[in-house]
Structure 1
Amino acid sequence: MRERSTSSNWALGIVQALEMGGVDCRAIFAELGLDYAALNDPDARFPQDAMTRLWQRAVELSGNPAIGLNMAKVVRPASFHVVGYALMSSRTLKDGLTRLVRYQRIIGEGADLSFRPTPRGYELTLAIHGDRLPAARQSMEASMAYALAFCRWMTGQPIRPLQVLFQGPPPADLQPFEQVFQGPLQFHADHYGLLFERADMDMQLPTANESLAQLHDRFAGEYLARFSDTRVTHSARQVLCRLLPQGEPKRESVAQALHLSQRTLQRRLQEEGGSFQQLLDDTRRELAQQYLAQPALSLLEIAYLLGFADPSNFFRAFRRWFGLTPGEYRAQL
């Protein structure tokens, strides 16, 4: 399966945020074997794992674990590629964020977004998957900070989330997070997310333009078609992430959620170079890495979140994936 990639537009936003924090990204790009000049090529893309290494080196060099929050200061529609303009031309924030979920693979193929109504409002949830490396925490924090800042910028209103959810423990210094998000922060959550008030999501955008929205939809759809070789794989992975905490998902359930027959699902996955069982295994492996980075989750809880009815099956699968027990892997983290 080919590597997940990130658009040069989003990579450029990350670089601007890091350079604002005093990091010499040109030197890091040379160190990682990346083409710094390609940041200005709108069609260029960078491997997701390379972006993870960029975040890791930036934190090491700056000594600032909250450097990802600088993304809130570099807001510009182009960071979201054509998706940014599709958001701006949407009627309401709710319509805009729905488009963001639909087209987010253009920005970064490693991201899984969802946007749904809840009893309290609307929640935008985020997960980022790498290929061989678990995504950097700063990548998640940067994406959330940018999404919120973009909503504020589009509406011209100081939108305050009802809740900001983070996986993992709170940072040593909360002040930068309080300053950027301006809402209640919850750590040790089971996902990253922003909970918005309904009234904020129903807010009309001053840049709304139905004709432009349709035009940008067409551009985004055409661009997204370039990734059609993994489109079903990506959609099936999102369904698996949602179903796993309820037990091991059956192919029938995933096919049903995608409005496909089981046979069609299997054929499409095979055309994309995989199989249902392989995708299930890959998804569990990626999620296991993310969950083990959260000290609040016990190994037993992680086994059940990954859909293993018997924890011993999780331990066996983990040793097959990484050659270590989950406890040994966590100790190395």
Structure 2
Amino acid sequence: MIKVSSHSIRALVVYLSHLGVPLRQSLDLVGLDKASLFNEHSLLPTQVLESLYTFAEQNLGLKDIGFNFGQTIEPDRWSTLGYIAFTAPTLRQALQQQYKFQSLVGNLGSPFIKLQGEYTLINWVPAYACSHHTVEEIITGWVALARKLSAAPVIPEKVFFAHACQGDERVYEQYFQCPVLFSQDANGVLVGSELLEVPLIKHEPQLHDLLCQHAEQQLASFTEAVPIEVMSQYMINRLSVKVPDIEEIAELMNLSVRTLQRKLSDAGTSYSQLLDSLRKKMAMDYLQLEHYSILYIVEMTGFSEQSAFQRAFKRWTGMTPLQYRKQLLADKAG
């Protein structure tokens, strides 16, 4: 299951309270109590996050709440990972550590860094069919965090989103100080490569090392406690780049292939069955949102060709992806 840290939910609930939504109302809306909200190690279903965003859009008329919420980023929103980023030596290392330790604060998606000459492309690949609010919070949060930490001005070359613009494009361009493109093939930001190497003003070497050691210990405990969940998260986050084989996953988890296969068997599944079920769930989630093209969904689910995706989807549901999407739309309209 895709999950989000209670720290992120708590930050959003507090943000909504500043907009006039009482804390109790937000908690009742998503079926949480204060104990769950303030549990330091709790991971919550993404439906909690999406329900809060849907409520804000429908009842407060805020179609750009993720964009605005992202601008208010503070380290506690990402728990230990946030403080690791705040004390990192450079933005590049902060991003690399976000990728390494992100499962500790949920698995909404993954950052991928690609060098393009003098520029660096930083994509964010969602692990589920999230709302545009979630995407905008993540991308805007990156830029806001970089501006808090970098000794140099942080002005991207461009920012891009896969969804259509829901607000005023001029407001986005005013904040990011660069072209902002919507309805693109991916979500992310393009920056000058030198920006990622600029020293960060809050770098504290000793504290940073201690935080990373703590995160390593947490990650090891997490892997031991819920190995199938860790494996699933890694597969979801890697599918858009390359379908990971079992050897790669075993190495990540510091297990032998035979031990990992035994753990899968104990859970009543296998590598191929788990991969198939994850792809099915992701595809069905993505098809619920019209702005995701079939080609985009093919890429996100790790199929090399659209024809292979079509065959798999028909095996799962008895329908083609387009037929399934049309049925969803008809059910909503009815």
Residues in 1 aligned to 2:82 and 2:319: alpha-carbon distance in whole angstroms? 38
5+ residue gaps, structure 2? none
Q: 1:295 to 1:137 in 2, by over 3 A?
A: closer
- 1:28 and 1:54 in contact (8 A); partners too: yes
In the TM superposition, what is the alpha-carbon distance from 1:311 to its structure 2 partner? Answer: 6.0
2:159 alignment partner in structure 1: 164
Match of 1:189, SS state, is coil
* Residue correspondence of structure 1 range 37-116 to structure 2 within 5 A: 38-116=36-114
Residues in 2 aligned to 1:167 and 1:71: alpha-carbon distance in whole angstroms? 19
In the TM superposition, what is the alpha-carbon distance from 1:98 to its structure 2 partner? Answer: 0.9
Q: 1:183 to 1:284 in 2, by over 3 A?
A: farther
Normalising to structure 2: TM-score of the pair?
0.82
Q: 1:329 to 1:277 in 2, by over 3 A?
A: farther
Amino acid at match of 1:242: V
Amino acid at match of 2:193: R
Amino acid at match of 1:114: F
Q: 1:88 to 1:300 in 2, by over 3 A?
A: closer
Residues in 1 aligned to 2:219 and 2:299: alpha-carbon distance in whole angstroms? 34
Residues in 1 aligned to 2:95 and 2:155: alpha-carbon distance in whole angstroms? 16
Q: 2:289 aligns with which of 279, 288, 293?
A: 293
In the TM superposition, what is the alpha-carbon distance from 1:86 to its structure 2 partner? Answer: 1.3
In the TM superposition, what is the alpha-carbon distance from 1:327 to its structure 2 partner? Answer: 2.8
Residues in 2 aligned to 1:272 and 1:10: alpha-carbon distance in whole angstroms? 30
Residues in 2 aligned to 1:227 and 1:321: alpha-carbon distance in whole angstroms? 38
Amino acid at match of 1:12: R
Residues in 1 aligned to 2:283 and 2:27: alpha-carbon distance in whole angstroms? 28
Q: Tell me, yes or no, if structure 1 residue 255 matches structure 2 residue 246.
A: yes
Farther-moved stretch of structure 1 (284-293 vs 143-152): 284-293
TM-superposition CA deviations, 1:32-86 (whole Å, max 9, x none): 2111454333233322222111211121111111011222342221111111221
Match of 1:70, SS state, is helix
Match of 1:117, SS state, is strand
Residues in 2 aligned to 1:125 and 1:231: alpha-carbon distance in whole angstroms? 22
Q: 2:197 aligns with which of 198, 202, 207?
A: 202
Q: 1:295 to 1:234 in 2, by over 3 A?
A: closer
5+ residue gaps, structure 1? 244-248
**RMSD between aligned residues:** 3.1
